[in-house]
Amino acid sequence: MTIPTLELNDGNSIPQLGYGVFKVPADETERAVSDALEIGYRHIDTAAIYGNEEGVGAAIAKSGIARDELFITTKLWNDRHEGDAPNAAIAESLEKLGLEQVDLYLVHWPTPAKDNFVHAFAKLVELREAGLTRSVGVSNFLVEHLERVVDETGVVPAVNQIELHPAYQQRDVVAWSTERGIRTEAWGPLGQGKYDLFGTPAVAEAAAAHGVTPAQAVLRWHLQKGIIVFPKSVRAERLRENLDVFGFTLTEAEVAGIDEIDPLDGSGRVGTHPNEFN
Active-site residues: which are they? 50
The answer to whether 5 touches 215, Cβ cutoff 8 Å, is no
198: left (phi over 0), alpha (psi -120 to 50) or beta: alpha
Task: Report the Cα 46 to chain-centroid distance in Å.
Answer: 9
Query: Can you tell me the distance from the alpha carbon of 170 to that of 177, in angstroms, rounded to the nearest whole number?
Result: 11
Tell me the chain's radius of gyration from C-alpha atoms.
18
The beta strand positions in the chain, using DSSP E, are: 5-7, 13-15, 19-20, 43-45, 71-76, 102-107, 133-139, 159-163, 183-187, 228-229
